[in-house]
Amino acid sequence: MKYPVEEIKSFMESWAKNEYQLSWDNSGSQVEFKENTDSVVLAMDVTDKVIDKALEMDAKLIISHHPMFFSGSKNIIEGTYLGDNIIKLIKNNISVFSYHTSMDVADDGVNDTLFEKLDLKNKSILIYEEEKPMGLIGEFERELTLTDLDKLLKEKLQVCKIKFYGREDRNIKKVAILGGSGSDFISQAKEVGVDAYITSDIKYHDGQRAYEDDLILIDVGHFYSERIILPKIKKKLQENFKDLDFYIQESSSFELDI
């Protein structure tokens, strides 16, 4: 059975509402056609490989976390990477909807799903930005060594390599978490008294600062800190659009494994 793309959009925006996004973001419709579809591609980023997968499945809808249009593109030029991707979408009437910060802060969104995935307890908000909750605080059932935590994160998030910053010989119980780039909130994590802050995109000097402040910073990788929302989107869509087929992007299109 094929469903109108606009019905799927209405459902998604009843969950990750447009008003949830931060002022600098571009969540919502990126490309939209009045088409019907029986399949959906779910991805972190709209890359050429993701578009090719949609073509292979004859899917008329791609749902991504990161917006396709984010840096103020002003033209569509054949022969450029972005231009060719846009042209391919338009020629094949493929819609793209992106749910970025709107999905980060939504109930059962990225951060709630990360919290759930790590089996944390005693949930509270790390900080509010533009009156929207950014990041969560929680506790593990028991204290974990850094080795235990490394093993748990690799298992739960299906990531091969994790970076730890700070001082050794610490047990971890209370943590702050934030999917995606969380270095802007290191001070807040320190202030609320957590043992560790789990996020991504930690820079060298962030790590140095963590050492000085005696805070463990844990970088699980941007893709893997947010990828956990894709199966949740699939689950919710399946509950409401029972005959849809799905493809989920399992790995980053542009990170090389060498």
**CATH no. for 107-220:** 3.40.1390.30
pLDDT recorded at residue 3: 97
> Was 100 annotated as part of a binding site?
no
pLDDT recorded at residue 38: 98
> Was 226 annotated as part of a binding site?
yes
pLDDT tens string for the chain (258 positions)?
999 999 999 999 999 999 999 999 999 999 999 999 999 999 999 999 999 999 999 999 999 999 999 877 778 899 999 999 999 999 999 999 999 999 999 999 999 999 999 999 999 999 999 999 999 999 999 999 999 999 999 999 999 999 999 988 789 999 999 999 999 999 999 999 999 999 999 999 999 999 999 999 999 999 999 999 999 999 999 999 999 999 999 888 788 777
pLDDT recorded at residue 254: 81
Q: What class does CATH assign to 3-103+226-248?
A: alpha beta
247, HSE (Cβ side, Cα atoms, 13 Å): 21
pLDDT recorded at residue 252: 85
pLDDT recorded at residue 152: 98
Assess whether the region 3-103+226-248 and the region 107-220 belong to the same CATH fold: yes
pLDDT recorded at residue 159: 94
> Was 52 annotated as part of a binding site?
no
pLDDT recorded at residue 72: 73
Q: Among positive and negative, which fits the CA dihedral 128, 130, 133, 137?
A: negative
The whole-model pTM stands at: 0.95
Long-range contacts (CB closer than 8 Å, 24 or more residues apart) made by 110-117: 110/65, 110/179, 110/180, 110/226, 110/228, 110/229, 111/135, 111/136, 111/177, 111/178, 111/179, 112/136, 113/228, 113/229, 113/232, 114/177, 114/179, 114/198, 114/225, 114/228, 115/177, 117/156, 117/157, 117/228
Domain boundaries, the chain: 3-103+226-248, 107-220
pLDDT recorded at residue 257: 74
> Was 205 annotated as part of a binding site?
no
Token pair of 22 as six digits: 């931060």
pLDDT recorded at residue 30: 96
